[in-house]
Amino acid sequence: MKIYKAFAKVNIFLKITGTRADYHEIISRFMRVQSLYDELSFVAKEESVSKAKKFEIIGDFSCSTEQNTIYKAYIALLESLDDNSANSLKTLMQKYAIHVDKKIPAFAGLGGGSSDAATYLKMCNEVLHLGLSKNELATIGLKVGADVPFFIYGYDSANVSGIGEVVEEFKEPLLELEVFTPRIEISTPKVYRIYRKNFFAPIDGFKTDELKKTSSLDILKNMSVDEANDLFKPALQEYKELKNHYRHGYYFSGSGSSFFRVKEE
């Protein structure tokens, strides 16, 4: 059975531009990490299991099936399809389990759950010949999580704005990145709450436009870790042990806990 790669991403920069109800609007540069990915495939269930007709995910996950982004993607896809296609999808998932060889750490700011969800949607679209466009898949994916559309489009690098739903390709060379993830499980909602309470300082449209036009390499040469990512200071405040893992010259991805830098020759 074909194996599909679900790549990690880092946030080269992540700045808050405002709020939308309980959400924060952002401008961020997402870049794919070519060397870090989960591998997803469909595997046939044993006969006895297939009779149970349960949605099955095989992999190293700490959450329940219902909480898994892949299952959430399945439900979102199911709800968007006509009856015939929905029945085909149900039949597929009664006969096959989704196998995930998990390499991207969870709660790490690397988008592993979102990438898995996006990859699953693309797998179903291909295998069942659903004929959904990337825009349609991105709309479905957004119901699962704000980062999912980036992974649907599959760009090397993109400017991501709004609450994650606006994805604009940024043409630049893919950087070879070195990533390390401390064993600290970070809650993204908690970090955003700390940001809003203690660090709220959204950037204006001029700064946003400037960042959108600047190459990732120039960002990493000219901005410090806390200048590049508005969530670094709130994450440090909430998770004091992060400070013990910070290394000079590294940057912070998303709400953490991962750090990254351009690989040295």
Per-residue pLDDT tens over the stretch 198-257: 999 999 999 999 999 999 999 999 999 999 999 999 999 999 999 999 999 999 999 989
- Which pLDDT tens digit goes with each residue over 163-209? 888 999 999 999 999 999 999 989 999 999 999 999 999 999 999 99
Q: What is the CATH number of domain 4-169?
A: 3.30.230.10
Per-residue pLDDT, 265: 62
Going by C-alpha positions, the residue among 259, 184, 170, 229 that lies closest to residue 26 is 229
Residue 71: predicted pLDDT: 97
Could you give the percent of the chain with pLDDT greater than 90? 87
* The pLDDT of residue 250: 96
Q: Model confidence at 122, in pLDDT bands (50, 70, 90)?
A: very high
- Rounded to the nearest integer, the mean pLDDT of the chain is 94
Token reading at 180: 């390390």
Contact between residue 108 and residue 116 where contact means Cβ atoms under 8 Å apart: no
| Mean pLDDT calculated for residue range 34-38 | 97
Interstrand relation of 57-58 and 96-101 (parallel, antiparallel or unpaired): parallel
Quote the CA–CA distance of 181 and 179 in Å, as a whole number. 7
pLDDT at residue 20 in the model: 86
d(CA 251, CA 223): 9
User: CATH number of the domain at 177-262, please?
Assistant: 3.30.70.890
**So where are the chain's domains?**
4-169, 177-262
What is the pLDDT confidence band of residue 48, given thresholds at 50, 70 and 90?
low
Compute how many other C-beta atoms are within 10 angstroms of the C-beta atom of residue 243.
Answer: 8
Is residue 49 scored above 70 in pLDDT? no
For residue 92, the model assigns a pLDDT of 96
Say what the pLDDT of residue 53 is.
75
Per-residue pLDDT band for 50 (boundaries 50, 70, 90) equals low
Q: What radius of gyration, in Å, describes the C-alpha atoms of the chain?
A: 19
Instruction: Please give, one letter per residue, the 3-state secondary structure of 169-215.
Output: ECCCCCCCEEEECCCCCCCHHHHHHHHHHHHCCCCCHHHHHHHHHCC
SS3 of 64, please? coil
For residue 224, count CB atoms less than 10 angstroms from its CB and return exposed for 0-12, middle for 13-18, buried for 19 or more: exposed
The pLDDT assigned to 51 comes to 56
Report pLDDT for 106. 87
The token pair that represents 88 in the structure block: 């085909």
- Residues annotated as catalytic are 9, 147
Mean pLDDT of 89-117: 95
Q: Per residue in 12-34, pLDDT tens?
A: 999 999 998 888 999 999 999 99
Angle, vertex CA 202, rays to CA 199 and CA 207, nearest 5: 135
